[in-house]
Copies of this chain bind each other. A is one copy, B any other.
Amino acid sequence: MTQVVVNGHASTLDEVARLAGVSKATASRALNGRSKVSAKAQAAVVDAARELGYTPNGAARSLVMQRTGSVAVILPESDERVFSDPFFARMLHAVARSLRERDLQLVLLLAQPGDEDRMLLYLRGRYVDGAIVASHHRDDRLAEHLSDLGLPCVFIGAPWIGAERVPVVDSDNAGAAAQAVRVLIDGGRRTIATIAGPRDMRAGHDRLAGWRQELDAAGLDSNRVAHGDFTEHSGTTACAELLDADGGGDIDGIFAASDLMALGAMRELGARGIRVPDDVAIVGYDDLGVAERTQPPLTTLRNPIDQMVTEAVRLLVEAIAQGGRGAPRRVVFVPELVRRDTV
């Protein structure tokens, strides 16, 4: 950083142009490089800009370009959850990488319940070119609001309300859960419980549905269900609940809707001296790191987050380029089974 702020205020294009001895128009062209500028003028402008420490004023630029160069990631989720669920960390990491490649700035908006109005005001003020929304609850009307707003957006995971009005990138939660059940059945398990996610979240709901459907299809019992909230602790609690219920001792297979809950369950099983996979086989969901490190390593379904995010960013950039006039598209990825040692 060699440039210095010359006087109190940030320097403007006008000053750069004056110092370089050209017009504002030429200075702008020289710095943006879209149009032809003589080598002499080019050099003069670049030098002047460096000397003054010039950076274009974002507001002025957005005003005329109708673009800001930044996109929002919206997480309508309590911040405890955002900061405890590895899903978000992985997702944001992928989004950041993906946006970087396209020279866009990531702006993270935490939509606390109640703070939603301010956030919508921000979005309507066009401070960002588009938004990626991930994980939200049953009563969330964000999809409708964004659609009304005409702001380009992509949802990761289908919203409950208004899903048909916005582009969605999703994974086949139900199909994946069915896959998990099939593996357990193929492994000879017959009394298969599930530790489900929250009922008011798509992922929780669909994974439970898939589990149930596959068991019903196989003519097996599908009433051993305990709900958690995707955290390790809730997995432990839910597992205890399952084991302590009527006939809980018969359980020989568990499908947990997240690896963290599977981990919690394994702790509970271990505490009771129940062996995995000898006595009870277990399949998790996510494969974001924890699954490899459990004892024994966890068989799980790989949540295709990176692929989903890449696709979401692609769709968003497309939507922005078209001015948000494209038809809502829908892309679904299929999680892959990762066999380890718990089944």
- Give A residues with C-beta under 8 Å from B: 1, 4-5, 8, 10, 53, 55-63, 68, 70, 79-80, 82-84, 86, 88-89, 92-93, 96, 100, 103, 105-110, 112, 115, 118-119, 121-122, 124-127, 145, 148-150
Q: Measured between alpha carbons, how far is A207 from B5 in the docked complex, in Å? A: 37
Q: Could you list 8 examples of A-B contacts with CB < 8 Å? A: A58-B59, A59-B63, A82-B89, A96-B115, A105-B109, A105-B118, A108-B110, A127-B127
Contacts of A93 in B (CB 8 A): 79
A271 CB to nearest B CB, Å: 13
A108 touches B108 (CB 8 A): yes
A148 touches B1 (CB 8 A): yes
Contacts of A89 in B (CB 8 A): 79-80, 82-84
Q: Measured between alpha carbons, how far is A62 from B58 in the docked complex, in Å? A: 9
Q: Measured between alpha carbons, how far is A194 from B150 in the docked complex, in Å? A: 56
A10 touches B59 (CB 8 A): no
A68 touches B79 (CB 8 A): no
In the A-B complex, the 6 residue pairs with the closest CB atoms: A58-B125, A83-B89, A108-B108, A55-B124, A59-B62, A59-B63
Supposing A105-B118, A125-B55 touch, asked if A92 and B70 sit within 8 A by C-beta, the answer is no
Contacts of A106 in B (CB 8 A): 109-110
Interface-centre pick from A59, A63, A121, A127 (highest chain B CB count, 10 A): A59
Question: Which of B1, B4, B86, B149 is within 8 Å of A145, CB to CB?
Answer: B1
Q: Measured between alpha carbons, how far is A89 from B33 in the docked complex, in Å? A: 42
Contacts of A145 in B (CB 8 A): 1
Question: Which of B4, B59, B118, B149 is within 8 Å of A59, CB to CB?
Answer: B59
